[in-house]
């Protein structure tokens, strides 16, 4: 069964550090409105922050789509972060804790995946990257 959108999603650009802040704030608002517990709000916002920062730093910018959804009597928030950058050559390596191509701790993708209930990554060399995540209300 595919989740059903509950409202028109909000789409925001990610072109500068200020956009990452705006994406975080919007994500927190959506999560609070959906009734996610504070801990789950924080997990979702942290994951989205990592993904948005990756899109800006490694993908040269992109966009973020946030929306509420329902499936089988449960509700949640779905966030999709997309960039048109160089893509990820080795997804398995990129999802390994500690792996980094920059100055970070190497917990961005792997950490984001652990913080959410569903994680989907589509990428490839010179194909950009799309990460979709879902956090369900408990």
Q: Phi and psi for 62 in degrees, rounded to 5? A: 175, -140
Q: H or E element: which one contains 132?
A: strand 129-136
pLDDT at 105: 44
Query: Average pLDDT for residues 117-135, to the nearest whole number?
Result: 94
51 by Cβ neighbours in 10 Å (0-12 / 13-18 / 19+) ranks as buried
Return the CATH number at 87.
Answer: 3.30.565.10
Tens of pLDDT, residue by residue over 38-95, are 999 999 999 999 999 999 999 999 999 999 999 999 999 999 999 999 998 878 877 7
Number of domains in the chain: 1
Q: Which domain holds residue 68?
A: 4-136
pLDDT band with cut points at 50, 70 and 90 for residue 121 = very high
- The average confidence (pLDDT) of the chain is 90
Contact 80, 65 (CB under 8 A): yes
Q: Is the pLDDT of residue 99 over 80?
A: no
């Amino acid at each position: 069964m595919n989740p059903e959108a509950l409202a028109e999603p909000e789409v925001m650009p990610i072109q500068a550090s200020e956009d990452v802040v705006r994406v975080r704030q919007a994500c927190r608002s959506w999560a609070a409105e959906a009734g996610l517990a504070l801990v789950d709000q924080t997990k979702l916002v942290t994951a989205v922050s990592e993904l948005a920062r990756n899109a800006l730093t490694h993908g040269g910018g992109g966009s973020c789509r946030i929306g509420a959804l329902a499936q089988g009597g449960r509700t949640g928030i779905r966030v999709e972060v997309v960039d048109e950058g160089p893509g990820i050559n080795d997804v398995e390596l990129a999802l390994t804790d500690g792996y980094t191509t920059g100055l970070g701790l190497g917990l961005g993708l792997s950490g984001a995946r652990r913080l959410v209930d569903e994680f989907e990554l589509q990428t490839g060399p010179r194909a950009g990257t799309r990460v979709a995540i879902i956090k369900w209300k408990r």
